[in-house]
Amino acid sequence: MSRTVAAEDIGPDFAPRRRPDVASVEMDGEAVLYAGSAGMHKLDRVATVLWNCFDGSVTVRELVADLDDVYPDADRSRIEADVLACVRQLGRQGLLAGVAAAEPPEPMEAPGATDAPGAEGEDGASR
Amino acid sequence: MAATLPQVTQEAGTNTGREVTGAAAAYRTGSFRALGHEFMVVTSDAALSSYLEALFAPLASDRPAAHTYTLTERPGAGGSDWVLDFDGAEIGRGDPSRALALLLWDVNRSAVQRTRGLVLLHAAAAERDGAAVLLPGAMEVGKTTLVAGLVRAGLGYLTDELTAIDPATGRIRPYPKALSVDPGSYGPLADLEPTVPAAARRFLPDQWQVLPTAIRAGAVASTATPRLVVLPRYVAGQATELRPLSRADALIAVAGCAFTFDDDPAGTLAALGAVLRSCDCYELRSGSLDEAVRTVVDLLDRRLAMTGVTHP
């Protein structure tokens, strides 16, 4: 039986996994994610690198260790805090498997009204 | 100088013109194609039929029409109504201008609903030397006005409303309908005011329908590849501001304008991502059509220059 955890309860031993139904496209190192009810999201370059590692087999602790190796001059506790913050935020946004979303996200804005002509601006070619 | 709609010559032996059906004469247009929507219009008014034949001329098709709109005057509660039917079923009625407005609205709506295999965007588009500029956005942001200005400045016309991109090739399939210009844009586009035969004027909604060929002969483009994305926003009195957008931010904005997004979010996102990887992306705010046009033309020319194409 799968367990759902709250984002705030995610700790160093958690192995984040991308929701399989999240569509993802990378543009110049920034990921654009779409997950239906979870809406549309953009990740910066660092978050995109982390996102690509979220296959459910690597824990937060292991990710932090890898980053610490890559950036030996950085403060390890700061790295851990930042990675945890990223994972928890993605969890709150409903993008991670097994993590409860915090609240319904804002729906993606439709390009126009669907009313027939009669009110100002309706042209038929609208969502 | 006001632009004039071409006059229609009704020829015997074709599927246009006057046709006797029972006790009432019915005027039937030729066939038209709005992307995946193939239609013709039958009406009891000769002037209206001529007007529609000219209005839909950029969409003329050799294929038989799969669907028929019928616009006829019938008895109504307050005397008479103009009734619009689609394939025999009533879809609305009202005064003559409302009936025509409903026809134009339904053609657009049906183009979205009946077109398959293309990514459909709520966007205007124009091109130069095969490089297109996409102008995506919600209603009332200034897409039609800006694309009219661009065509007037010499760019090829692709559409003012519905941009269709073939995901297999990344190329735009034109939907060169008449540009629907709202009253708020009559001033900057005053030279494009159409001349409509007096007998058809009662059918006109409060909007100009401007043929692209009336803006400039040969203005309709055959196809193009997007190379520039500009999110327009008309703001009265606003000094022109151009802001570069990351391709990720542009993708989010353009995806928000995709009619078919919910049908296949992953596929649409991937297709749009592939298109935008070849594009420079901007947000443009302006209160001046002339400045907005100069800005966009300059961006497109600079982009073309990168590929070795220059314009005088």
* Mean pLDDT over the full length of chain B: 91
Report, as an integer, the average pLDDT of B139-164: 96
- Is the Cβ pair A123, B105 closer than 8 Å? yes
Q: B223: helix, coil or strand? A: coil
Q: Do A23 and B180 touch (CB under 8 A)?
A: no
Cβ <8 Å between A27 and B122:
no
Alpha helices for chain A (secondary structure H): 45-53, 60-70, 76-92
Say which residues have a Cβ less than 8 Å from residue B12's Cβ, sequence separation at least 6: none
Cα of B245 to nearest chain A Cα, Å: 12
Least confidently predicted of A77-81, B39-43, B242-246: A77-81
CB atoms within 10 A of CB B69: 22
In this complex, the residue of B102, B137, B251 whose CB is nearest that of residue A32 is B251
**B251 close contact with A: CB closer than 8 A:** yes
Q: Which residues of A touch B278 (CB under 8 A)?
A: none
* Residue B230: DSSP 8-state: E
Q: Which residues of B touch A36 (CB under 8 A)?
A: 265
Q: Which of A24, A30, A32 to mutate to test the interface with B (most CBs of B within 10 A)?
A: A32
Across the interface, do B259 and A127 touch by the CB < 8 Å criterion? yes
The model's confidence at residue B310, banded by pLDDT at 50, 70 and 90, is low
Contacts (Cβ under 8 Å, ≥6 apart) of B101:
A117, B205, B207
Characterize A2-27 residue by residue with b for buried, 16 or more Cβ atoms within 10 angstroms of its Cβ, and e for exposed.
Answer: eeeeebeebeeebbbebbeebbbbbb
Residue B22 CB neighbour total at 10 angstroms = 6
Cβ atoms within 10 Å, residue B97: 17
Alpha-carbon span A61 to A96, nearest angstrom: 17
Q: How far is CA A90 from CA A42, B247, B280, in A?
A: 11, 21, 29
Q: How far apart are CA B105 and CA B85, in angstroms?
A: 13
ipTM here: 0.83
d(CA A42, CA A35): 12
The answer to whether residues B149 and B293 touch, using CB atoms and an 8 Å cutoff, is yes
B60-119 pLDDT tens trace: 999 999 999 999 998 877 788 999 999 999 999 999 999 999 999 999 999 999 999 999
Q: What is the residue-averaged pLDDT of chain A?
A: 84
CA of B71, closest CA in chain A: separation in Å? Answer: 16
Position A31 pLDDT exceeds 60:
yes
B266 has a chain A CB within 8 A of its CB:
yes
Answer whether A123 sits within 8 Å of B257, measured CB to CB: no
User: CB distance from B284 to chain A under 8 Å?
Assistant: no
- CA A4 to chain CA mean position, Å: 16
Q: Which residues of A are less than 8 Å from B104 in CB distance?
A: 117, 123-124
B256 and A109 within 8 Å at the Cβ level: the answer is yes
Chain A residues touching residue B269 (CB < 8 angstroms): 23-25, 32, 34
**H-helix or E-strand spanning residue B293:** helix B289-306
What pTM, to 2 d.p., does this model score?
A: 0.87
How far apart are the CA of A123 and the nearest CA of chain B, in angstroms?
5
Please state whether beta strands B208-210 and B241-244 pair in parallel, antiparallel, or not at all (unpaired).
Answer: unpaired
Residue B307 has pLDDT above 60, yes or no: yes
State the DSSP H helix or E strand holding residue B70, giving kind and residue range, or none if neither: strand B67-76
Is there a contact between B39 and B32 (Cβ–Cβ < 8 Å)? Answer: yes
State the SS3 of B18-69.
EEEECCEEEEECCCEEECCEEEEEEECCHHHHHHHHHHCHHHECCCCCCEEE
Q: How far apart are CA B30 and CA B69, in angstroms?
A: 12
**Is the confidence at residue A108, as pLDDT, over 70?**
no
Mean pLDDT, rounded, for B170-189: 96
Identify the bridge partners of residue B163 per DSSP, sorted by sequence position.
Answer: B121
Residues of A in contact with B276 (CB under 8 A): 27
Q: pLDDT digit string (tens) for B20-65?
A: 444 355 899 999 999 999 999 999 999 999 999 999 999 999 999 9
Query: pLDDT higher for A35 or B176?
Result: B176
In contact, B277 and B227? CB cutoff 8 Å: no
Helices and strands, counts by H and E, chain B: 7, 19
Residue range A67-93: mean pLDDT, rounded: 92
Judge: A121–B265 Cβ closer than 8 Å, yes or no.
Answer: no
| Residue B247 touches chain A, beta carbons under 8 Å | yes
